[in-house]
């Protein structure tokens, strides 16, 4: 069984989707052992607590430099012997040391079809605002590995979602979460834990 550690910063609906998937046996080969929040007030911590899961706070604002923040994160991750790190609405950019230490073992869910509306500055509602301003008729979500380039790691799964006339960023965000993120994130986690994802030259292939 692989040790899964989930990193969060906010509401934690993707964490909830992972916990629900685990409970219903949809995550094979791994178990969620710990939650780390970059924000002490994240509702995600309450979700972890309700589930009886241990959690830690590594408050980004409490560290002067990104290096100090990374060191503390590494300490917690090593302490719980993490095999897979899942960024589920984690709003901090990880430093090189963490990324290299867990190369192709960190996955992130992003609320658009990468390479659209991604990279620096594209997170949370900003992504949906940008999609609506551009006038795209389809958007969606992507689960990908994390490398040194923001949202640039190998793509594992994607799912498209329709944009409707009259959508606000909030309405679109909820549709993308419901129809895509909460489905593909647990699926990708299970595929990883079952050893079914192969990465070569920044391209991920899924074995049947
Ligand atoms: C989700 O839509 C997630 O895809 C996005 O933030 C939201 C977090 O919601 N993540 C990013 O934009 C990361 N670049 P949650 O806390 O309810 O899971």
- Smallest CA-to-CA distance from 192 within 98, 99, 108 is with 108
When pLDDT is cut at 50, 70 and 90, the band that residue 123 belongs to is very high
Residue 73 CA to residue 69 CA, distance in Å, equals: 6
171-203 pLDDT tens trace: 999 999 999 999 999 999 999 999 999 999 999
Give the nearest ligand 1 atom to 9 CA: 16
Residue nearest to atom 3 of ligand 1 (CA): 89
| pTM value > 0.95 | yes
Tell me which of 34, 110, 128, 144 is the catalytic residue: 110
Residue 130 CA to residue 120 CA, distance in Å, equals: 13
Is 110 a catalytic site residue? yes
The yes-or-no verdict on residue 61 having pLDDT over 90 is yes
pLDDT of residue 64: 92
88-101 pLDDT tens trace: 999 999 999 999 99
When pLDDT is cut at 50, 70 and 90, the band that residue 208 belongs to is confident
Give the nearest ligand 1 atom to 176 CA: 2
* Dist. CA 117 → ligand 1 center (Å): 14
pLDDT of residue 32: 98
Residue 155 CA to residue 121 CA, distance in Å, equals: 19
* Dist. CA 82 → ligand 1 center (Å): 21
Q: Do domains 1-102 and 109-208 have the same CATH topology?
A: yes
Is residue 4 classed as helix, strand or coil in its secondary structure? strand
| CATH classification code of 109-208 | 3.40.50.170
Q: Is the CB of 89 under 6 A from ligand 1?
A: yes
| CB of 111 closer than 8 Å to CB of 161 | no
Residue nearest to atom 9 of ligand 1 (CA): 89
Q: Domain spans of the chain? A: 1-102, 109-208
Which superfamily does 1-102 belong to? Formyl transferase, N-terminal domain (3.40.50.170)
Is residue 107 classed as helix, strand or coil in its secondary structure? strand
* Dist. CA 79 → ligand 1 center (Å): 26
Q: Which helix (H) or strand (E) holds 43?
A: helix 43-50
Q: Is the CB of 73 under 6 A from ligand 1?
A: no
pLDDT of residue 153: 98
pLDDT of residue 6: 98
Q: Are strands 106-110 and 155-162 parallel, antiparallel or unpaired?
A: unpaired
Residue 162 phi, psi (nearest 5): -75, 145
* Dist. CA 129 → ligand 1 center (Å): 14
């Amino acid at each position: 069984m692989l040790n899964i550690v989930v990193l969060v910063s906010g509401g934690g609906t993707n964490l909830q989707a992972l916990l629900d998937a685990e409970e219903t046996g949809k995550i094979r080969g791994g178990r969620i052992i710990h939650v780390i929040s970059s924000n002490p007030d994240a509702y995600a911590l309450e979700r972890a607590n309700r589930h009886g899961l241990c959690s830690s706070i590594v408050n980004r604002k409490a560290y002067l430099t990104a290096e100090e923040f990374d060191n503390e994160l590494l300490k917690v991750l090593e302490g719980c012997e993490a095999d897979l790190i899942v960024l589920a609405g984690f709003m901090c950019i990880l430093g090189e040391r963490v990324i290299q230490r867990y190369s192709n073992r960190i996955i992130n869910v992003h609320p658009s079809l990468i390479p659209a509306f991604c990279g620096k500055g594209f997170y949370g509602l900003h992504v949906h605002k940008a999609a609506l301003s551009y006038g795209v008729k389809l958007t969606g979500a992507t689960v990908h590995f994390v490398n040194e380039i923001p949202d640039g790691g190998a793509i594992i799964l994607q799912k498209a979602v329709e944009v409707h006339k009259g959508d606000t960023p909030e309405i679109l965000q909820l549709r993308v979460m419901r129809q895509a993120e909460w489905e593909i994130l647990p699926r990708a986690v299970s595929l990883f834990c079952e050893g079914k994802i192969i990465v070569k030259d920044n391209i991920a292939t899924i074995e049947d």
